[in-house]
Structure 1
């Protein structure tokens, strides 16, 4: 097996796994609809990004993604047990995703954030004694 062929094999395996997952979902719900996975998209994306995957492409951590998936799953199940609707749970998952992406962006541009913070909040008040 050549190294150049490994991505093709992996994409093929992902395709087979997706087909099996689609068959399981269709057999569970009894019908095929285009919106069956809609409720799973936001938690899955949040878990992947929270687990360390770069939203702009690149590599991520399998262990981090697994732990993040558990965290997001427990968060959603806990909110449902309390009686919070699925829409609110999805909105909170989206808010968590936004917070994680903003935190990563700020950590990547740390020097710019420090310089801006100093420029905005280091001025002295007029009339203050020195």
Structure 2
């Protein structure tokens, strides 16, 4: 019993141990790592991935997957930027409907939520595999982004919008505050609400959850909608930080999100994991990226290393179950 308890404790501490060892190794190899500026830089960089990963965690907890978050991020960011700068033209009435900063932000979040809702609707209504549905949305949302922007970036969005991604509040980067709110809301949802219990129940055994009276279809639609919303929030932060809505924004972001979720201990089989674990996983990914850059590792090798880390996390997840 004692050995089993110790083993379980070590399994839970694996991500934290990995982060400690990584930080120790990078700090020895680079004197620029353990600096205040670099610490804020890491937190600012991982804010977007944490937001996306929070939504991805909810999806994976229900035994699903969402490959479309990177494309939804790009489209929502482009819509927010486009509405803020150009508004909506109504040629028949010779009218232009302008948008305030708040209006553009809300519109972008609504767009992200709508695309996420469509993912959930297609998955539950037609019983289509989540992998296929979200892969299709990945392509569709990217196409929508290209159509909306006509393949060109939308620049010059103003200082007020730029504050979202580059501003500071009470000595902390504003994106970190946004991410903290998203994380705390997600923690409350998963730990303190019936919806959170339903999410874990569906991931643990969907048939049993259905027989116990849980509306599994509605829960899944909510989860995918939330994933779209968190992707849209990430899109606003990326667009604000660059002061530009790039048509190719968010490429491969879904891979970093999945990596953060898996490294953080959430099981790809569903029903097991936590938001805090995902945050830790995102920090590990961020520290790894930052360390590889500081050590002047080739970008090509960086991809190899990140892929190896993801593979190792999946292998450890499977091994721990046996």
Deviation for aligned residue 1:90: 2.4
Point out where structure 2 has 5 or more consecutive residues left out of the alignment.
1-193, 196-213
Give the CA RMSD over aligned residues.
2.8
Residues 29/45 of structure 1: CA separation in 2 closer, same or farther (3 Å cut): farther
Could you state the TM-score of these two structures normalised by the residue count of structure 2?
A: 0.29
RCO comparison, higher one (Cα < 8 Å, 6+) = 2
The alignment status of 1:77 with 2:290, answered yes or no, reads: yes
Where in structure 1 are there 5+ consecutive unaligned residues? 110-130
| Cα distance in 2 for residues equivalent to 1:105 and 1:89 | 25
Which structure: greater strand fraction? 2
- 1:63-110 residue CA offsets vs partner (Å, 9 max, x unmatched): 22111211221111011011113332222111011112122223333x
1:58-77 counterparts in 2 under 5 A?
58-77=271-290
Task: Report the equivalent of 1:42.
Answer: 255
Instruction: Name the CA distance, whole Å, in 2 between partners of 1:108 and 1:6.
Output: 26
Q: Distance in 2 between matches of 1:29 and 1:42?
A: 24
Deviation at 1:45, TM superposition (A): 1.9
What is aligned with 1:25? Answer: 238
Q: CA deviation at 1:39?
A: 4.5
What is the Cα deviation at residue 58 of structure 1?
3.1
Deviation at 1:13, TM superposition (A): 3.5
Q: State the 1:7 CA deviation.
A: 5.1
1:104 corresponding residue in structure 2 = 317
Name the TM-score, length of structure 1 as normaliser: 0.63
- Distance 1:99-1:13 versus aligned 2 partners, 3 A rule: closer
Greater Rg over alpha carbons, structure? 1
CA distance change for structure 1 residues 80 and 11 in 2, over 3 Å: closer, same or farther?
same
Asked whether 1:57 is paired with 2:270, we answer yes
Mean Cα deviation higher: 78-87 or 51-60: 51-60
Alignment: residue pair count: 108
Q: Classify the secondary structure of the residue corresponding to 2:290.
A: helix
**Structure 1 CA distance for aligned equivalents of residues 294 and 252 of structure 2:** 17
